[in-house]
Amino acid sequence: MEESHFFALLQRMKYIQRWSLMRNTEVENLQGHSLETAMIAHQLGVLRNTYFDGAVDVNRLAVLAMYHDVSEVFTGDMPTPVKYFNPKLRALYGEVEQLANETLWHTLPEEVQPCYEEALLGISDEYAVLIKAADTMSAFMKCVTEKAAGNDEFNAAYDSIYKRLQDMNLPEVNLFLKVYVPSLTKSLDEMNVSFAK
């Protein structure tokens, strides 16, 4: 088997900073965001299956979500206002993202490429919707914690991202907002979590 650059490239995710146009109280990198998105996606799938008659493979969903932004090891994090400035620019950037994913996929040994095909080259509709919801939820959670730290820089982003979550009209998203998001503004002492007996 020949040398592969796949994991060397993935290691660079930790160097890609998110929210580059904003003043941040805490820097967020792509690697941390990808893990958080995978955890959120997993939970959204669990909520869908448990409360809304879903049949999502939550482990597959989490793995697909882990790779949702890997193209950024080549492109960097394109700020949302730039990425969505106009439809033509968004379409062109989408092509660049796809090319970056294909390039990354081709760094894998040929025998294992099929195992990464869905994650890097195309996700089915139901899973894509939940991953987009998880990605958006991760951004919203960042806004919540920045605002809680007194950073008014995130006020507009908070409002617009919250609206995007509501516009998704997904019951598992609304349940996640109700159950998990309020604790984000609490200190560890306020959460008063005790060890299980």
pLDDT of residue 92: 86
Task: For residue 129, give its domain range.
Answer: 6-183
pLDDT one-digit tens code per residue, 31-68: 999 999 999 999 999 999 999 999 999 999 999 999 99
pLDDT at 90: 81
The mean pLDDT of the chain is 93
Q: Tokens 């592969």, residue? A: 4
* pLDDT score at 93: 81
Domain membership of residue 188 (yes or no) is no
176 CB-contact burial (10 Å; exposed 0-12 / middle 13-18 / buried 19+): buried
The model's pTM is 0.93
Number of domains in the chain: 1
d(CA 180, CA 161): 17
Q: What's the rounded mean pLDDT across residues 176-195?
A: 92
**What integer is the mean pLDDT of 169-174?**
98
The reply to whether 191 falls in a domain is no
